[in-house]
Amino acid sequence: MAAVAAPQTAQLVPHPTFHSRAHIAYGDLVILYMTRDILKAITITEGEVFHNKFGRYEHSNLVGIKFGSKVHSPPPHAGYLYVLRPTPELWTLSLPHRTQILYSTDIAYITMRLGVRPGGTVLEAGTGSGSMTHSLSRSVGDKGRVLSYEYHEPRYLKAKEEFEGHGLKNVELSHRNVCKDGFGDVSNVEGVFLDLPAPWEAVPYATKIMRVSPSVSHDEE
């Protein structure tokens, strides 16, 4: 018989979004997969219940089971869903839209062209719904930095709440109009992504904060 982890104590402590733990605990962000086109992100919370057309699912019944499990609704419903460990790709498919977002194909291409690397510093302007931010956070890793700027205050406040709740400690979010005010006291940025209505207005400021690679001289033999 397979061992099942003991249920955790019922206290809501936000956990880092990206992890490799096998079992679900209170405070975890979980992606509920219902159909190919219907995904929902929830935070496992004591006393909460998730309802949908497939059935009823108490959060407490999800604690201690493995990520990736198929969970059946209790009678009289006969539905089921899958509980998945979050990834940036799954978050992109389940996040609440505040703006138009980038999806995984475009994110992968942009990340490659920017040369994003573990331990690096990358900047984005136009946080929006945070789809790109979550992917950049994973790409730079614990030793890297993501500098994100949002000029729209309600979107900034909501993104700030999400990033803190998801444990994105390598993301530094600022409320700022970079097209008028630049990027502040920032330097040695390795890549800049501008997702703005008029990105050309921010380009002069961006050129001032980029890391300049030293010239390489080749000795003649």
Q: What is the pLDDT of residues 36-57, one digit of tens each?
A: 889 999 999 999 999 998 899 9
Is the Cβ–Cβ distance between 196 and 202 less than 8 Å? yes
**Ranges of residues in the chain whose predicted pLDDT is under 70:** 1-16, 213-221
According to the model, what pLDDT value does residue 106 have?
95
SS3 category, 173:
strand
According to the model, what pLDDT value does residue 175 have?
98
Is the Cβ–Cβ distance between 83 and 24 less than 8 Å? yes
Residue 26 has φ and ψ, to the nearest 5°, of: -55, 140
Tokens of 213: 């690679």
Burial class (CB in 10 A: 0-12, 13-18, 19+), 8: middle
